Amino acid sequence: MAVLVAGATGFVGKLIALSLKRAGHDVRGLTRGDAASTNAADLVAAGVRVITGDLRQPDSLAAACDGIATVVCTVTTMPTGADDGLQRVDRDGVLALIDAAERGGSRKFVYTSYSGNFRLASPLETAKRECEARLLDSRMDAVILRPSYFMEVWLGPHLGVDPLHGSVRIYGDGEAKVSYVSAFNVADFAVAAVHRDGGRHVILEVGGPEALSQRDVVQVFERTLGVSCHMDFVPVEALRARYESPEPLQKTFAALMLNLAGGDPMPGAPALAREYGVTLRSVAEYAAAMRSHTGV
């Protein structure tokens, strides 16, 4: 079965492409660069066929979707949102890919969206929900993954969470519970969805094994890493002020931070993981991996 992975040089997309290839699928990776690109080297080495295509150029997508049974899309321009990417790629580009897949006769489309609990209007929200709606209106079987906050992103130094240096940024009061999920597990769900005949349309709310507050996460870091962390609080009022920005990326990040401050618990996540054969990674395991990578 031929599977096209759009966003195959991204972290989650590459995990999916390589896993599907190991499972014996004919895997094609849709990327803006060609097979000679450094980012595509491990895909090529694994036998993934790299297809050049640009979601901002819809005419380039028809050939990529030719003969494809299943399309998996992990494409996003976050966190940079460069060149109006939230509109041109996350929304218009993914919609163009859905159209191309449907016209090309693909039977299934697996789309990585984000948590159904996220309701604040933003350019990313518009892109995700409009792509979801288009998929659910298509002739293809649609599998929509709605993951909570990726622990590798939202519990990392680039967003102010740096327990190894004793500093953790907290959005709001840090009390609301969040089902942080590993990007590795999101890839696991996507691969399982490719293999599984789950029905006409399936929406999966994907979270981690437990819901933890931001304060709980700090305690996990301190206990696992043997450190003491200073919590740097960003008040909700400051986030709301940032949310009023007319700049698409600023507004989107502010919406995500406000959603985080409000919490994103997914009580059904462990049962869903068991159903799909996914072993969920905990925040404690993520913290332990931090320690092993740094020798702390």
Q: What is the pTM of this model?
A: 0.95
Q: What percent of the chain has pLDDT over 70?
A: 97
User: Residue 60: which residues within 8 A CB-CB, separation 6 or more?
Assistant: 52, 53, 54
pLDDT on residue 35: 62
Three-state SS for 96? helix
Residue 153 near residue 159 (C-beta atoms within 8 A): yes
User: Whole-angstrom Cα distance, residue 3 to residue 114?
Assistant: 22
Q: What is the mean pLDDT of residues 73-102?
A: 93
Instruction: Enumerate the H helices of 171-226 as residue ranges.
Output: 183-195, 214-225
Q: How many CA atoms lie within 13 A of 189 on its CB side?
A: 34
- 237 exposure class (CB count in 10 Å sphere: 0-12, 13-18, 19+): exposed
Q: pLDDT band at 293, cuts 50/70/90?
A: low
pLDDT of residue 159 exceeding 60: yes
Mean pLDDT of the residues in the chain? 94
b/e 58-92 (16+ beta carbons within 10 angstroms → b): bebbeebbeebebbbbbbbbbeebeeebbbbbbbb
Confidence of residue 19 (pLDDT cuts 50, 70, 90): very high
Rg of the chain over Cα atoms, rounded to whole angstroms, equals 19
Distance CA 242, CA 251 (A): 7
The bridge status of strand 177-178 relative to strand 212-213 is: antiparallel
Beta strand 49-52 pairing with 70-73: unpaired
Residue 98 near residue 134 (C-beta atoms within 8 A) = yes
Q: Please, are residues 145 and 128 in contact by the beta-carbon 8 Å criterion?
A: no
* For residue 166, pLDDT beyond 70: yes
